[in-house]
Structure 1
Amino acid sequence: MSGHDSYGDIFSGHSRKKTRAVPKVTAERDLVVEDAASGFCGAVVGFDRSYDGDFVKLEDARGTVRLFALREAAFLIDGAPVTLTRPTATAPSAPTRSASGSTRVEGLRARVARGSRIWVEGVHDAALVERVWGHDLRVEGVVVEHLEGLDNLAQRLTEFQPGPGRRVGVLVDHLVTGSKETQLTTGLGPHVLVTGHPFIDVWQAVRPATVGIEAWPNVPRGEDWKTGICHRLGWGTPQAGWRRVYDSVETFRDLEAPLLGAVERLIDFVTEPE
């Protein structure tokens, strides 16, 4: 018998392989695990703590809830041993704000549109309202439509037939005493609210500093206001000027107070219970 045979395998009884480390798994809610000792299988539904350590609550398919100590390699996932760890507590994050300054609703799905509406004079008014209040409007289910000119208001109201649950809020440019705009928006009934700002055009309701100027230039009466503004500021065409104005606005802080107050009152009017 050779020496090797006489001594046999000197490594007999000793592992030749390193012990595989048991993975740690965070016990997130609804994670399904099996208690290795008892065979109880359930989903994580909570935790408890006592003088002798942390415990995990598992709920099985029949609704039975049991406590198990969070010990090393005490659980199985798909038949493999794991060590469950309690999730690390995180401080609640501060609520984020929308462009209008309201609390942003995360994971928002637009609400079904209300019967009530907000009407504005033109596409630029509608675009700025959407840019700042778009989140709020989707939360409340409010649709903003443009009139293509205030002269169309009377006809649109006749077609729409405002009433309970079908209110109309109207945002008007240059709403000052004695103006044509004021004359067109009086005596419209209890289901119509008209608010506005004193500026000639909604562009002017954007703070001058927002678009990089000290003040909006004066344009003589009778001259197209947007064309005159772009000419005096060197902005090119009104289309190019509008792009500059629109791209500069990010939040309510970029708008003048009269426009902010007017839009907020309209949103309140068309969303308050009747």
Structure 2
Amino acid sequence: MADRYGNDVLAGDWRKPKNGRTVDVEIAKGMVVEEPSSGFVGAVVRWEHGVVHLEDRHGRVRSYPMGPGFWIDGKPVSLQPPKKAAPAKKTRTASGSVAVDNVRARVARASRIYVEGRHDAELVERVWGDDLRIEGVVVEYLEGVDDLPAIVNRFQPGPGRKLGVLVDHLVEGSKESRIAAQVTGAHVLVVGHPFIDIWEAVKPKSVGINAWPKIPHGEDWKKGVLRTFGWPASDQADVAAAWKHILSKVNSFADLDPALLGRVEELIDFVTND
């Protein structure tokens, strides 16, 4: 007997909207969408803070909250922000060496590098830290060159136990150069950089300045620099804040003067060539 009422009205997906279910779509510049309640049709020109901006063919721009409530080709969509791309794989360390994945840092060598000055040591760590950890080289802070003979005596350098030292502004004929000559030997290498202060080793353009200023002899160099630039220079906290800013501008070896690069690379080669 025929069903006088026809097919079961509840059969199938009776709850499905006439135009289909809303699907998520990643927004893209130039994508043409319609806001059906107003009938406005336009291309996506930008999006920000959860709002999408559409421009129609007459150049009119309207803004709407991102999410559901749009159509593309007559089908309901929910506009979603693009997924963030995965960060690019690091191929170089900050020093320019080839980055090595899935390699555990080597057990610390007996050899060491000492760096005079806290800021100097922080700069070495920022640029060469990855390389030094892979090589198993520990960098230690040297408060002053006067401490060097005692450090060398305690360290007892020898084959497979080398000591490399980077000192500030090593000038020939100075007390510091005489101390350096006193401790230098087959297993101890002392090198100095030519800068009045390690800040000068950072290229001016990386910091956003034209050049490092010339500070009169006898004036505190760091505070003189701060005053020249109009930065706070009242106390050591101001100096520390300025250095933090400068250091943040160093992203790789390209931000440093070659005169420092050569000295540090020389020390690394010295202590790693057993």
Are 1:192 and 2:151 counterparts? no
| Equivalent residue, structure 2, for 1:250 | 251
SS at match of 2:182: coil
Equivalent residue number for residue 107 of structure 1 = 102
**1:174 and 1:181 in contact (8 A); partners too:** no
Aligned residue identity for 1:132: V
SS of the aligned residue for 1:171 comes to: strand
* Partner-residue secondary structure (3-state), 1:115: coil
d(CA) in 2 for partners of 1:154, 1:219 = 31
- For residue 113 of structure 2, what is the aligned residue in structure 1? 118
Q: Distance in 1 between matches of 2:127 and 2:227?
A: 27
Aligned partner of residue 185 in structure 1, secondary structure: helix
> Matched residues in 1 for 2:102 and 2:118: separation?
28
> What secondary structure sits across from 1:145 in the alignment?
strand
Distance 1:94 1:196, change over 3 A: same
- Which of 167, 188, 202 does residue 206 from structure 1 map onto? 202
From the CA coordinates, give the structure whose radius of gyration is larger: 1
Q: Which residue in 2 is equivalent to 1:74?
A: none
1:32-47 equivalence runs, <5 A: none
Instruction: Assess if the C-alpha contact under 8 Å between 2:117 and 2:168 holds in 1.
Output: no
2:28 match: none
**What secondary structure, in the 3-state scheme, does the structure 2 residue paired with 1:165 have?**
coil
Task: Give the structure 1 partner of residue 130 of structure 2.
Answer: 135
Mapped to 1, the partners of 2:269 and 2:159 lie a distance apart of 15
Alpha-carbon distance between aligned partners in 1 of 2:225 and 2:187, rounded to the nearest angstrom: 37
Q: CA deviation at 1:94?
A: 9.2
- Kept in 2, the 8 Å contact 1:196–1:258? The answer is no
Cα deviations by residue, 1:133-173 (Å, 9 ceiling, x for unpaired): 01110110000001111221111111111111111000111
- Residue 226 of structure 1 corresponds to 222
Match of 2:113, SS? Answer: strand
- Aligned positions of 1:1-274 closer than 5 A: 96-188=91-183, 189-236=185-232, 237-273=238-274
* Contact 2:202 2:250 survives alignment (8 Å): yes
Question: How many angstroms apart in 1 are the aligned matches of 2:89 and 2:150?
Answer: 47
C-alpha contact 1:132 1:251 (8 A) present in aligned 2: yes
Segments of 4+ moved more than 2 angstroms? 176-181
1:180 shift after superposition: 3.3
Give the TM-score normalised by structure 2. Answer: 0.63
| Structural RMSD (CA) | 1.9
Structure 1, 110-119 or 173-182: larger mean CA deviation:
173-182
* Cα distance between partner residues in 2 of 1:246 and 1:210: 10
CA distance in 2, matches of 1:103, 1:197: 25
Structure 2 unpaired stretches of 5+: 2-87, 233-237
How far apart are 1:128 and its partner, in Å? 0.5
| Number of aligned residue pairs | 183
* 1:219 CA displacement: 1.4
Deviates more, 1:262-271 or 1:225-234: 225-234
State the alpha-carbon separation in 1 of the partners of residues 174 and 205 from structure 2.
Answer: 28
1:184/1:220 CA distance change after superposition, 3 Å: farther
Q: Is contact 1:219–1:225 with CA below 8 Å preserved after alignment?
A: yes
Counterpart-to-counterpart distance in 2, 1:178 and 1:218 = 23
CA distance in 1, matches of 2:205, 2:133: 29
Identity of aligned residues (%): 60
